[in-house]
Amino acid sequence: MRILIVGSGGREHALAWKLAQSPHITRLFVAPGNGGTARVAENVDIADADLPALVAFTLRKKIDLVVAGPELPLVLGLADALAQEGIPCFGPDAFAAQLEGSKAFAKTVMRAAGVPTADFMVFDDHLQARAHVLERPMPCVIKADGLAAGKGVVVCKTREEALETLDEMMLRDVFGAAGERVVIEDALVGEEASFLAFCDGTSFALMPSSQDHKAALDGDLGPNTGGMGAYSPAPVLPEADCAAMGDLVIRPILDYMAASGHPFVGILYAGLMFTPAGPRVLEYNVRFGDPECQPLLMRLDGDLLEIMLACTRGTLAQTPVRWKPQSALCVVMAAGGYPKSYPKGMEITGIDRAEAETGVTVFQAGTRAQDGRTLCSGGRVLGVTALGDTLAQARDAAYKGVELIHFDPCHYRRDIGSKGLGRR
């Protein structure tokens, strides 16, 4: 079979690495890909949001399945455009992708489907939003409705901060059209975890729990990033609790989407917070998390292509989805300065040595291959990922790999997995 993966991050390298192991694959393409995907697949120079070019390539190369890595092409309607040509897409249609593309849509669906989430109100009018902030207790959380590259959520401790945030989003258009509508919700406190499921429109197969590290610096300090590391399982959501959690936060959404005439196909990702009053869904994503994908796929025991095809064919209930009992942990090595400004073009050395000597798998994110060398081309550069019999062993193995890899300036967190280890 001929497969096209859309995207260019560490997640997409992990997807390509895992799909390349399937005996059913004859050609594997990644658009646009990176230095790592070039090692296991053929990179195609098409941007992830260029739907016409993606569809044309898919027809020209007689692609059997398109796998969407990031949310943007799905929110723009990639699955719908492919469906018009009769090509299956692993990822939801544009209507269902609003679960990630519109915070107001997601919250309204959660309320209608009975999923526990922070109490909220939606505002299109700046003066009404101000009036609400002036009368409600603080803290609160203000979310730009649309996609804002992970930056559209502000936890406001004071009324002044909340009013300033409303001005930025609704008057000064800091997030463009994404901020014309806002969700204002109660601020919750608790540990977070990521909970993902493969979905075929009516049934789902749960993945083990995982946890991301969004802050740039150790101890969850510093600015938020796309994710500085991840591990699975996350002890805050043990295996024994997963089935009930699936019934609480995955099944009602699948039922709601199916009843709306848009059965959800692909990955439904619930961002959970474990509050003293019980678990709450902070957000849904409609794709693998990056970097959660890297440890999760290291643990997936079996053929990812067979699972993805079953999702597009509605046969997931008859398809085995098995996981290795070990823990997996991914340390992101970023360019110094990330998530603010950072240099590019530095040469990366030691990847092959780290893989050979420590058994880690190095998923590349912001890299490009040039003349046999691997160069930095983005903020998050590598995801050094290891399996271990325990979380501590996976962590130790991943950091051994990190020590053998070099580029300058480089920054990584030294405490990936510490919350999970602290719970043991």
Select the residue interacting with ligand AMP from 48, 64, 185, 200 (CB under 6 A): 185
C-beta neighbour count of 66 within 10 angstroms: 26
Q: Does 121 bind ligand AMP (CB under 6 A)?
A: no
Q: End-to-end alpha-carbon separation of the chain, Å?
A: 44
67 by DSSP, 3-state: which?
strand
Q: Does 153 bind ligand AMP (CB under 6 A)?
A: yes
Please, what is the minimum distance in Å from the beta carbon of residue 123 to ligand AMP? 16
Which neighbouring-strand residues pair with 369? 374
User: Contact at 8 Å (CB) between 318 and 311?
Assistant: no
From edge to edge, which strands make up the β-sheet containing 2-7? 42-43, 27-32, 2-7, 65-68, 89-90
Question: Any idea how long the chain is?
Answer: 424
β 191-201/204-206 pair status: antiparallel
Element (H, E) at 184: strand 182-186
Please, what is the minimum distance in Å from the beta carbon of residue 289 to ligand AMP? 11
Residue 146 to residue 178: CA distance in whole angstroms: 4
Q: Site residues (CB under 6 A) for ligand GLY? A: 212, 227, 285, 289-290, 292
Stretch touching ligand AMP by CB under 6 A, among 187-195, 287-295, 318-326, 375-383: 187-195
Nearest residue to 416 via CA among 335, 340, 329: 329
Location of structure tokens 């019934």: 247
Stretch touching ligand AMP by CB under 6 A, among 182-190, 203-211, 310-318, 346-354: 182-190
Q: 260 to 279, contacts with ligand AMP by CB under 6 A? A: 271
Contacts of 30 (CB under 8 A, 6+ apart): 4, 5, 6, 7, 8, 12, 16, 37, 41, 42, 43, 44
Nearer to ligand GLY, 64 or 299 (CB): 299
Q: Does 155 bind ligand AMP (CB under 6 A)?
A: yes
Nearest residue to 270 via CA among 256, 282, 257: 282
Q: Does 392 bind ligand AMP (CB under 6 A)?
A: no
Select the residue interacting with ligand AMP from 141, 265, 348, 369 (CB under 6 A): 141
Stretch touching ligand AMP by CB under 6 A, among 183-191, 197-205, 304-312, 397-405: 183-191
Please, what is the minimum distance in Å from the beta carbon of residue 289 to ligand GLY? 4
Please, what is the minimum distance in Å from the beta carbon of residue 368 to ligand AMP? 29
Burial class (CB in 10 A: 0-12, 13-18, 19+), 350: middle
Please, what is the minimum distance in Å from the beta carbon of residue 286 to ligand GLY? 10
Binds 118: which of ligand AMP, ligand GLY, none (CB < 5-8 Å by kind): ligand AMP
Stretch touching ligand AMP by CB under 6 A, among 174-182, 186-194, 238-246, 352-360: 186-194
Select the residue interacting with ligand AMP from 12, 64, 93, 283 (CB under 6 A): 283
Select the residue interacting with ligand AMP from 187, 206, 215, 258 (CB under 6 A): 187
Please, what is the minimum distance in Å from the beta carbon of residue 132 to ligand AMP? 15
Closest-CB residue for ligand GLY? 289
